[in-house]
């Protein structure tokens, strides 16, 4: 006689079929969020470098990010699973428009609402600062990223192009 045992219950015998699924308590992520601190820089860069469509470039040195954080207190955020940083975003404003940069979630943590949560916290912070509109830069080649932003209520700004100048 053949028996299939899962946990300690007999679930299958060739003479009759009984299917019972024993549900185990799922391990839910206990994600917390907080203000991005300069001590989070290395972990954030690792996440950004691993993320599709996020480019770490000029202006992203530790010193420059530190200055950005000081100019925009409380707006940039990190997400933690326990003590491990699993998401990061830079957020600030110029007094008129909000700017969100480098929203990324660590591989293996995507699709769990972490990016959406970080984004919402940025938007809430910008609203509290009196900012009515925010902008982002999305690479034209980043279809997955563009889809995320569109799903979260962002819109294309037709007729605009991004230009830059090193000063």
75: its two tokens = 């707006």
Positions in the chain short of pLDDT 70: 1-29
Phi-psi region of 60 (alpha: psi -120 to 50; beta: other; left: phi over 0): alpha
Tell me, what's the pLDDT at 13?
42
Which residues pair with residue 32 across a beta bridge? 80
Tell me, what's the pLDDT at 29?
61
Tell me, what's the pLDDT at 28?
54
Nearest to 54 by CA among 67, 63, 45: 45
Order of all β-strands in the sheet with 77-81: 31-35, 77-81, 84-93, 98-105, 134-136
> What is the distance between the alpha carbons of residues 42 and 94, in angstroms, rounded to a whole number?
25
> What is the distance between the alpha carbons of residues 106 and 23, in angstroms, rounded to a whole number?
28
Going from the N-terminus, what domains does the chain have, and what CATH number goes with each? 29-151 (3.40.630.30)
Q: What is the mean pLDDT of the chain?
A: 85
Tell me, what's the pLDDT at 160?
87
Tell me, what's the pLDDT at 118?
98
pTM: 0.80
pLDDT, tens digit (0-9, with 9 covering 90-100), for 114-162 = 999 999 999 999 999 999 999 999 888 889 999 999 999 999 998 988 8
Tell me, what's the pLDDT at 141?
87
In the chain, where does DSSP find H-type helix?
41-50, 62-71, 114-128, 143-151
> What is the distance between the alpha carbons of residues 115 and 119, in angstroms, rounded to a whole number?
6
């Amino acid at each position: 006689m053949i028996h299939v045992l899962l946990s300690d219950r007999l679930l299958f015998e060739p003479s009759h079929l009984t299917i019972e699924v024993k549900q185990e308590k799922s391990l839910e992520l206990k994600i917390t969020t907080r203000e991005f601190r300069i001590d989070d820089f290395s972990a954030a860069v690792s996440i950004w470098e691993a993320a599709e469509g996020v480019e770490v470039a000029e202006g992203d040195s530790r010193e420059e990010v530190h200055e950005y954080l000081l100019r925009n207190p409380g707006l940039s955020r990190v997400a933690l699973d326990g003590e491990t940083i699993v998401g990061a975003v830079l957020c600030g404003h110029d007094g008129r428009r909000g700017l969100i940069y480098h929203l990324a979630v660590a591989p293996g943590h995507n699709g769990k609402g972490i990016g959406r949560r970080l984004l919402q916290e940025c938007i809430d912070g910008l609203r509290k600062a009196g900012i009515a509109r925010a902008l982002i830069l999305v690479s034209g080649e980043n279809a997955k990223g563009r889809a995320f932003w569109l799903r979260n209520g962002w819109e294309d700004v037709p007729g605009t192009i991004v230009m830059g100048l090193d000063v």
